[in-house]
Each structure stands twice: as structure tokens, then as C-alpha cells.
Amino acid sequence: MIHHERLTATIDGDFVVFLIGMRLNQPWKVHKWWPVAAAMPRMIGELRRQPELGMLHAEMWFSRTPVVIQYWRSMEQLMAYATNKGAAHLPAWKAFNQAIGTDGSVGIWHETFAVKAGAYESVYVNMPSFGLGRAGKLEAATGRRQSAAGRLGRHG
């Protein structure tokens, strides 16, 4: 559903934004990149089925450099998932290192950002619920929330 009004996202407390992706350096080597690409939806599915692990929401884009944006409740929960021997991440990481390692065929990357309460802003116009708006909640971007400065608490 498209929300035609001007909205902003809010979320209670601190949270984490985790960006992760891969790059198809040698796209013709499907046998190299397909297992890597297939591992992420399995992990996202596992995390969605177990909200107590701390992932709030994920958005995926597909291109030569597929990207997933994840929103997490805390850094501790993200790190706990990354090192959980019973979760899907460690076997996928081991498989990547065994099959690809540093051979150059498939690149992987991630960036992690710890966000303090109130130290972010967002706006959505003519958009469905998306990103932080799905991890948290959407509210009207009116009054003090009408501008980026206002959403960041910087008035005048």
C-alpha cells in the first residue's frame, strides 16, 4: 500500500543498521556466487521466524552487487547471531571461505552502524512502508517533524 502523505520513521531506543552485500566479480561463475546468494534468504528467513534474535526488519536489492539492509534491536544481538553455532550464518561463512576464500570470484562486504536514540531522521513520500519505517513505526512528518533539522531536534 502506498502512503501518499509525508511520513517519518520512529523507533524506541538505540538500534543497529547492518548493511551486507556481495559483488559478482566473475558473473559467469554461477557455481561460485549462487550458493552465496542463496545463503542470505535462508538467514533472513531464520531471523524472521525467531524475532527474539533481535533482527527488526530487512530489505534486499538485487543487481551485480546485491545488498541487504538489516535493522537490529542491539549490537549484542547482531554479534550473538553472527557467532551462534546453531544458526545459519556460521555454516554459510565456512562454506564461503572453503569454496571462494580470496580467489576473487565473489566479493562480500558489510558495514555496521550503532544508532543512538534520536540520532537519525527519515522521510517517506508516496512510498509503501519501507526500511526503518517497517522496523519501527511511521508517523506524520508534520510540525517539528516536517524538516530534517526538526526530525533531528535541531531547531532554528
- Tell me the domains of the chain and their CATH numbers: 3-10+122-151 (no CATH), 15-115 (3.30.70.100)
Q: How far apart are CA 151 and CA 134, in angstroms?
A: 18
* Banded model confidence at residue 37, pLDDT cuts 50, 70, 90: very high
Q: Above pLDDT 90, what percent of the chain? A: 95
Question: Residues 63, 79: contact at Cβ < 8 Å?
Answer: no
pLDDT of residue 156: 58
Give the pLDDT score at 71: 98
Mean pLDDT of the chain: 95
Cell triple for 91: 555454516
Nearest to 72 by CA among 132, 127, 121, 130: 132
Per residue in 96-113, pLDDT tens?
A: 999 999 999 999 999 999
CA distances from 51 to 57, 77, 87, 112, 135 (A): 9, 11, 13, 19, 12
Question: Would you call 18 helix, strand, or coil by DSSP?
Answer: strand
What pTM does this model have?
A: 0.91
Predicted pLDDT at 155: 73
Q: What is the pLDDT of residue 154?
A: 86
